[in-house]
Amino acid sequence: MEYFDHFKALDHITLNFNPEGIMALNVSLAFVMFGIALEMKSEHITRLVHAPKALVIGLMAQYVFLPILTLGLVFLLRLPLSISLGMLLVAACPGGNISNYITTLAGGNAALSVSLTAASDLLSIVMTPFLFTTMGNLYIGVVPLEHPIHLSFLAVLKTIFLLTALPIGLGFWFKNTYPTLTKRLLKPIKKISFVLFLLFVIGAVGLNFEHFSQYVWLLLPIVIIHNALAFLTGNLVARISKVAPIDQKTITIETGIQNSGIALALIFNNHIFPEGFGGAAFIAALWGMWHIVSGMGLALWWGRGR
C-alpha cells in the first residue's frame, strides 16, 4: 500500500511537547471534567433504572460495537502502528461533552445526550483502560513489530483516575456543597473549559507545525473514515434496536463524538509508547477538530426546517 508508506515515519517522530505543555493539557482536561460533573443531575444516573433501553443501547454502541469495528478497521488497513493505536485509543474514550450541544442543534433528545455523556464518563474510568489495553495488546500480538511494546492497564487506569474520576468527584462535592454558586458558575466554567482546551490544541499544533503540515492531509482521510464509521455504528445500532427516532439521532451523535482530549492526555502522560509514535497524538488531535465539523454538519442536516 504505497499511500501508507508515506507516513510510516510517524512511528519514529517525537513531538515537541514540554512538561509545561503537558501540565496545561492536564489542567484543561480536568477542568472540562469538573464542569461536566457540575452539570450532572441525579436523574441522569437514575434514568438507567427508569428508562434504560436507549441509554443501554447508546453505551453499547460506544463501548462495544465501535471498539470492535475499529479493531477490525485497523486490522484491515494495517496502518503504521502509532496510527493504529491512536485509532484504538480514541475508540476506547467516552463521548465528548460538545455532543450535548450538537444533539440539541440536531433536534435529538437532549436529556438522553447528557445522560449518555455522564454515564460514559463514569464508565470510562474502567472501560477506557480495559478496552485500549485489551485491543492494543491483541493488535500488537498479531502484527510484526520492530520493538516489543506492552500496554499497561494500571498505567492507563492511573491517568484516567487522576484526570477523570478525581475532577468528577470534586465536581460532585462542589455541586452538593455550594448549589447556589454552582448555578452561577456553570455556564462560565463550560465556556472557559472549552476555550482552554481549544488554546491547548492550537498551541500543540503550533509547536509541531512542521510535522503537522507534512502529514495532516495524509492522516485526515483516515480520521474521516474512522469518524464516519463511528456515526454509522451509532445510527445502525440505534435503528436495529428500534429506539425512537429522536433517540436514534442522539445515539448516532454520542457515538461519533469522542473525547479525544482524554486520548491526548493518555498519550502524553503515560509513556505507554516508545520514543516517537507521533502518529497516535496526531490522530487524537485531528479527531478533536474533525468530529466538531462532521457533527455540526450532521446536526445542521437533521435540524434543517425545524
Mean pLDDT, residues 69-80: 91
Mean pLDDT, residues 65-85: 91
Confidence class for position 78, pLDDT limits 50, 70, 90: confident
* pTM for the full predicted model: 0.85
- Domain, as residue range, for 243: 10-303
From residue 54, alpha-carbon distances to 121, 241, 250, 256 in Å are 17, 9, 9, 16
Confidence class for position 155, pLDDT limits 50, 70, 90: confident
Contact criterion met (CB below 8 Å) for 265 and 29: yes
Domain annotation covers residue 2: no
Domain annotation covers residue 1: no
Number of domains within the chain: 1
Q: Give the mean pLDDT of the chain.
A: 80
Mean pLDDT, residues 51-80: 91
CATH at 198: 1.20.1530.20
Domain annotation covers residue 5: no
Quickly tell me which residue has 464509521 as its cell. 229
Mean pLDDT, residues 121-127: 87
Res. 119: pLDDT tops 80: yes
Burial group, residue 70, by CB count within 10 angstroms (0-12, 13-18, 19+): buried
Q: What are the grid coordinates assigned to 46, written together?
A: 437514575
Mean pLDDT, residues 119-123: 86
- Tell me what pLDDT residue 231 has: 96
Domain annotation covers residue 88: yes
Over the stretch 198-251, which tens digit does the pLDDT of each residue have? 776 676 666 666 767 777 788 899 999 999 999 999 999 999 999 988 999 999
Domain annotation covers residue 3: no
Domain annotation covers residue 147: yes
Q: What is the 3-state secondary structure (H, E, C) of the chain?
A: CHHHHCCHHHHHCCCCCCHHHHHHHHHHHHHHHHHHHHHCCHHHHHHHHHCHHHHHHHHHHHHHHHHHHHHHHHHHHCCCHHHHHHHHHHHCCCECCHHHHHHHHHCCCHHHHHHHHHHHHHHHHHHHHHHHHHHHHHHHHHCCCCCCCCCCHHHHHHHHHHHHHHHHHHHHHHHHHCHHHHHHHHHHHHHHHHHHHHHHHHHHHHHCHHHHHHHHHHHHHHHHHHHHHHHHHHHHHHHHCCCCHHHHHHHHHHHHCECHHHHHHHHHHHCCCCCCCHHHHHHHHHHHHHHHHHHHHHHHHHHCCC
Q: In angstroms, how far is the first alpha carbon of the chain from the final one?
A: 45
Enumerate the β-bridge partners of residue 258. 95
Q: At what angle do helices 260-270 and 19-39 cross, to 10 degrees?
A: 140
Domain annotation covers residue 4: no
Point out the least confidently predicted range of 165-179, 191-205, 249-263. 191-205
Domain annotation covers residue 222: yes
Task: Work out the widest C-alpha separation in the chain, in whole angstroms.
Answer: 60
d(CA 134, CA 112): 29
d(CA 117, CA 259): 10
